[in-house]
Structure 1
Amino acid sequence: MHADGGAGREFVVKSGKREVVAAPLPMQGHLLPLSNLDLLLPPLDVGVFFCYANPTTTASQRLDYGSMVGVLKAALAQALVSYYALAGEVVQNSASEPELLCNNWEVDFIEAFADVELRHLNLYNPDDTVEGKLVPTKKRGVLAVQCGGIVVACTFDHRIVEAYSVNMFMVFWVETARSAAPISLPPSFRRSLLNLRHRLCFDPSLDRMYIPVFALYPPPKHKLQSACSNGSKRTKLESFSAFLWRMVAESSSVVDNDDNKTMSMMGIGEDDKPTPMSSYFGNVLSVPFREKRPREVVEKPLSWVVDVVHKFVERAATKEHFVDPIDWVEEHRPVLALERIFCKPDSEEEEEGSMVLVVSSGQRFPVTEMDFGWGKLVLGSYHFPWGGKAEYVMPMPNPLSNGDWVVYLHLPRSQVAFIESHASTIFKLLTPHHLNLL
C-alpha cells in the first residue's frame, strides 16, 4: 500500500518501554516434544500485525494509550495460562532435535512509536516497512509482542505454530481482553492426535514431497471463479491460485523453452485443520504440489490449470493425508527434514529458470474478530520474511468484508510488474482508498 500520488513516506520506529509478560499462575516446568509435523519446519519466524484507527482521538471511545496497553498486557497474561506453550523456549534434546520447554519463561512485550499515519505508510516492500518495524524482531522464546497505539503485532516461532494456531491464539487473546462470553475452547496439546502407526508405512511419493536437510545442496475479477470452473465446482482459492500460476509462468523468460528440464512448480498450503484436530495447537501443515511445463500452464485452458490445482489440494483435506508424513519423518529421524517445495535442491537436471510458487491460504485470518475493545481492524496481515527459493503468496480477507482480498506477494520485481500490467482488473495496488482511510 502507498499513499495516493506518492511512493509512501519513510519512517523510523523508536522502541520505548520493554517488559516481559508471563502467566499469573505458578507453572510446573515440563518438556513438550515437537510433533513429527513440527519437525518439518525450519527455525524461522512469522509475523502478524493489526492496525486500528487511533482510539485516543475518538471522543466516543475515551481511551488513552496507557489504558490500551494495560488491557493488552493483562489479557495476554491470562491467555498464556491456556496457551502456556507460547511462554516457553525451544531447547535441544540429547538427539539434537528441538523440543519445547514449557517453563513460563515470559513473553517480550515492547512499546514502540513511529511518527507516521497509516494512510502514508508504504507497504509495497514489506521487507523494508514491516520487518523489524511494524512487527517485532523476536530475540528469544516462542512469541514476541509489540504495540504502538494503533498497531498490535506479534512474531511467532513457526516450529511451534502455523497460521491456524496463530489465529486460535489471537482470537482467544481478544476474547479475554473483552471478557467475551463464551471464551473459545482452550487449545489442545495432545501429541497423541499425531501418533505413529504401529508399523511405519508411507507412500513412496512422499520422497518427492519432503527432503532430509542433509540432502540440500485475465478475466474480470468477479468472473474469475466461474471462468476457471468449466462447469465443476472450484473454490475461490483454487481459482486464484491457478490464475496466479499462469501469470507467474507467463512472466518467465523460459516459457517458450521446449526443454523438458524447465519446470513450473505450484504448491498450496491450506490454513484449516481436519475436524478431529480443530482445537489442536501446533503444526498440521502440508504443502502438496505439482510440476508442469511453463508452456502447458500458459497455453492450456485456465479450467485445465485449476483442475490440476484442485486435484492436489483435494488430497490434503483429510486427517489421513497427514498420517504418511508422520511416519516418513520417523523413518528419517534424527535427521531433520523440510517440505521439498521450499528448498528444491540444485541438480544437473534442473534447468535454470525453473520456478516454484507457493500459495499459503490465509482465509481464516480473523479480521472481523480482532477487536480488543477499541474498534474494528483497519488493516491486518501476516508477514513472512521469506528467504527461500520459492516465490511466496498469501491471500487474506479484507477487513471491510466486501469479498476482496488483501494479498501478500513475495515475488521478483519483474513478476510483480508483469502481474500489475497484465492482470490489473484482478490485482490492484492497496491504497488508503481501499481501506476507507480517505
Structure 2
Amino acid sequence: MLNTFLSIKNMGFEDSFTVNMTDKIVVCAHEPCKDHWLPFTNFDLLVPPFDVGSTFFYKKPSNGRGFLDIVDTLKESLSRTLTLYPPMAGEIAWNGAVLENQIHCNNQGVDFIEAVADVELKELNLYNPDECIEGKLMPKKLLRGVLAIQVTKLKCEGIVIGVMVDHRMVDGYSANMFISSWADMTRSKASSMIPSFGRSYLTPRSPIVYSPLIDNVFAPFQPESNHDNDLCKEDDQYILVNRIYYVKGEQLKMLQSLASKNGCRTSKLVAFTSFLWKEVALSMEDSGKNNETCNVVVTVDGRRRLSEGEGKEKERLMASYFGNVLSMPYGSKKPKELKEMTLSNVAIEVLEFLKTATTKEHFLDIIDWVEKQKPQPLISKAFAGKDMSFSISAGQRFETMDKIDFGWGKLAFGSCHAPAERKDCFVMTMGSPINNEDWVVYAHMPKKHMEYIETHDGHVIKPLNADYLNI
C-alpha cells in the first residue's frame, strides 16, 4: 500500500477533505494485439494536445460488495476492454518511418489508481469541481500513455471513478463509447458495441477539393496569436473556473419558447446556446468590453452525416467509429449587437452559422482542407485570436446518466471535467439523473461571466447540489 497523500485540504471550504492513494498499478490489455501504428485522421489533427476528464459518482454498492472486490473486478474488466480498444493502451509517439506523430498500439498499459477519501458523497460541493474533483477525485495530468483512471472509496462507501484521456484520441462520443464498453464488460462480460478504427472512409478525396467556407470554421494555429486568455492576465475575475449547474425542464421550455419565432420551434440546444451567448455578451458589456467580440462555437458530430447515402454498412461503421469526427462552426458578434437582439433573433444567428455544418459535403471538405494544410497545426477559427470565445457541446444523447452501470447500482451523477491547465472556454450540456426534462450544465469559463449569469439568471441556471441529486 502506498499511502501517498494526493491533495491538500481546502482551507475555509465547507467540505474540506483529503484523499490518500492506496495503490497504483498499470493495467494492460488481456489479449494484446500485434504491435502496430495507427495514424491520426484529419479530424484528430484539429484537436489541440490537451486532456479531458469524466467523473462518475455512485452511492454505496447495493449488492453489498466490498471496495477491494469491486476494484479487482474493475481492473480485470478494464484489461478485457483494452483488448477491444488497443489505442487506449498505447501512446502517442513519433513514428520515424513516416516522420509524424501517430498512435503506437504497443500495450504499454493504463495507470490505475486506488484511493480513499475522508468525505461522504452528500458532502461534496459538486457545484465547484475545482475544489472537490481537481487533484482529488480525478487523475492528474497524464504522465504516460493516453489514459489514466482513479477509483476512490468515499467515507459513506460510495465510489467515484475518474477517467482522464488525451483529447486527440477521443471526442465525447468516443469517450462515452469506451466507458460504456468498460461498464458492459464489468457487468455482463461482453461489450454492446465493437469499436471501429478503420481510416479508409476518412481519407481525402482525389483530387482534393473543398469549399472556401471551411476557412470560416478552422484556421492555422499561431501560438503568438492564441487567445490563451489575455483576460486572465489583467484581472483575477477572468481566471477560468469549473462550475456545474442544473436547469429545470420548465426553464428550458421557457427559453425554447422565447427563442422560437413565427411558429417555427427551435431546439432546446439552440435556445440555450442563444441564451448563454447573449448573457456572456451582457457580462462583457457590464465590464466595459463593448468593443471586443464574443464568439460562440457549437460542436457538431459528423458520424451520421458522413454515412448519408452510403448504405447500412457505412452507417454501422461510422456509428462505431472511435476517434474525433467534429466540426466547430461559430458565430461572432459585438456585445452591443447581442444586447439589442431578442432571444429569437439570436437563435436565428445560431441557426445560420450551424447550417454550414449540417451536410455530408461539409465534413468531406474538412478532410480535404486539413490535408492541404499539413503539417502546420490547426485550430477552430473562433479560438485562433484573442476574442472571448467559448464552445458548447451537447451530451444529452450520451449514456452517462442511464447506462454507465458497473453492476453495483445506478449512477448518482456523472459529468465531464476540464483540467485546470486547459485554457479554452467550453460548456457541456448533459441529461439529468433526476428528471429527463432537466439538464446538467458543466462550464469551464471566466469567473466574471459565471458570477454575472448566477446573479442575473439565478432563476434559470442553479448551482448543482446534493439536495437536487437526492444524495
| TM-score, normalised relative to structure 1 | 0.89
Letter in 2 for 1:362: G
Q: State the partner residue of 2:352.
A: 311
Q: Secondary structure at the match of 1:345?
A: coil
**Corresponding position: 1:285 with 2:322:** no
Q: State the partner residue of 2:372.
A: 331
Number of aligned residue pairs: give it: 417
Q: State the partner residue of 2:338.
A: 297
Q: State the partner residue of 1:247.
A: 279
- What is the aligned counterpart of 1:171 among 180, 184, 202? 180
Letter in 1 for 2:321: Y
Q: CA deviation at 1:221?
A: 4.2
- What is the aligned counterpart of 2:128 among 116, 125, 129? 125
Q: Secondary structure at the match of 2:357?
A: coil
Deviates more, 1:24-33 or 1:249-258: 249-258
**Corresponding position: 1:185 with 2:193:** yes
**Corresponding position: 1:136 with 2:139:** yes
Deviates more, 1:156-165 or 1:199-208: 199-208
Q: State the partner residue of 1:3.
A: none
Q: 1:185 to 1:178 in 2, by over 3 A?
A: same
Q: CA deviation at 1:257?
A: 7.1
- What is the aligned counterpart of 2:87 among 72, 85, 88? 85
Q: Is the 8 A contact 2:301 2:325 kept in 1?
A: no
Q: CA deviation at 1:399?
A: 1.4
- Correspondences of 1:347-358 after superposition (within 5 Å): 354-358=387-391
Q: In the aligned structure 2, how far is the partner of 1:314 from the partner of 1:53?
A: 43
Q: Is the 8 A contact 1:164 1:272 kept in 2?
A: no
Q: In the aligned structure 2, how far is the partner of 1:123 from the partner of 1:271?
A: 28
Q: 1:386 to 1:136 in 2, by over 3 A?
A: closer
Q: State the partner residue of 2:437.
A: 403
Letter in 2 for 1:144: A
Q: In the aligned structure 1, how far is the partner of 2:224 from the partner of 2:171?
A: 23
Q: In the aligned structure 2, how far is the partner of 1:388 from the partner of 1:77?
A: 29
Deviations 1:264-305 (A, max 9, x none): 211111357315321110000121101122222121111111
Q: 1:22 to 1:307 in 2, by over 3 A?
A: same
- Correspondences of 1:209-248 after superposition (within 5 Å): 209-214=217-222, 216-217=224-225, 220-230=251-261, 231-248=263-280
Q: In the aligned structure 2, how far is the partner of 1:379 from the partner of 1:406?
A: 10
- What is the aligned counterpart of 1:106 among 94, 109, 128? 109
Q: CA deviation at 1:238?
A: 0.8
Q: Secondary structure at the match of 2:392?
A: strand
**Corresponding position: 1:364 with 2:419:** no
Q: Is the 8 A contact 1:271 1:363 kept in 2?
A: no
Q: 1:396 to 1:128 in 2, by over 3 A?
A: same
Q: In the aligned structure 2, how far is the partner of 1:74 from the partner of 1:180?
A: 10
Deviations 1:233-256 (A, max 9, x none): 311111111001111111113788
Deviates more, 1:242-251 or 1:16-25: 16-25
Q: CA deviation at 1:26?
A: 4.0
Q: In the aligned structure 1, how far is the partner of 2:366 from the partner of 2:325?
A: 10
Structure 1 residues not aligned, in runs of 5+: 1-5, 347-353
Q: In the aligned structure 2, how far is the partner of 1:359 from the partner of 1:238?
A: 10
Q: Is the 8 A contact 1:386 1:392 kept in 2?
A: no
Deviates more, 1:89-98 or 1:402-411: 89-98
Q: State the partner residue of 2:54.
A: 48
Q: 1:7 to 1:232 in 2, by over 3 A?
A: farther
**Corresponding position: 1:38 with 2:79:** no
Q: 1:205 to 1:300 in 2, by over 3 A?
A: same
Q: CA deviation at 1:8?
A: 3.4
Letter in 1 for 2:21: S
Q: In the aligned structure 2, how far is the partner of 1:390 from the partner of 1:44?
A: 10
Q: 1:125 to 1:338 in 2, by over 3 A?
A: same
Q: In the aligned structure 1, how far is the partner of 2:55 from the partner of 2:290?
A: 44
Structure 2 residues not aligned, in runs of 5+: 1-11, 154-158, 226-246, 308-314
Q: State the partner residue of 2:299.
A: 269
Deviations 1:398-419 (A, max 9, x none): 1124321111112222211211
Q: 1:109 to 1:257 in 2, by over 3 A?
A: closer
Q: In the aligned structure 1, how far is the partner of 2:290 from the partner of 2:16?
A: 45
Q: 1:141 to 1:295 in 2, by over 3 A?
A: same
- Correspondences of 1:150-165 after superposition (within 5 Å): 150-165=159-174
Q: 1:386 to 1:66 in 2, by over 3 A?
A: closer
Q: Is the 8 A contact 1:386 1:410 kept in 2?
A: no
- What is the aligned counterpart of 1:392 among 400, 404, 426? 426
Q: State the partner residue of 2:15.
A: 9
Q: Secondary structure at the match of 2:285?
A: coil
Q: State the partner residue of 1:145.
A: 149
Q: 1:135 to 1:364 in 2, by over 3 A?
A: farther
Q: Secondary structure at the match of 1:47?
A: strand
Cα RMSD for the two superposed structures: 2.3
Instruction: Report sequence identity in percent.
Output: 42
Q: State the partner residue of 1:350.
A: none
Deviates more, 1:172-181 or 1:25-34: 172-181
Q: State the partner residue of 1:349.
A: none
Q: Is the 8 A contact 1:249 1:255 kept in 2?
A: no
Q: Is the 8 A contact 2:256 2:265 kept in 1?
A: no
Letter in 2 for 1:121: L
Q: Secondary structure at the match of 1:331?
A: helix
Letter in 2 for 1:279: S
Deviates more, 1:224-233 or 1:34-43: 224-233
Q: CA deviation at 1:152?
A: 1.0
- What is the aligned counterpart of 1:208 among 216, 239, 252? 216
Q: In the aligned structure 2, how far is the partner of 1:178 from the partner of 1:304?
A: 48
Q: In the aligned structure 2, how far is the partner of 1:410 from the partner of 1:258?
A: 22
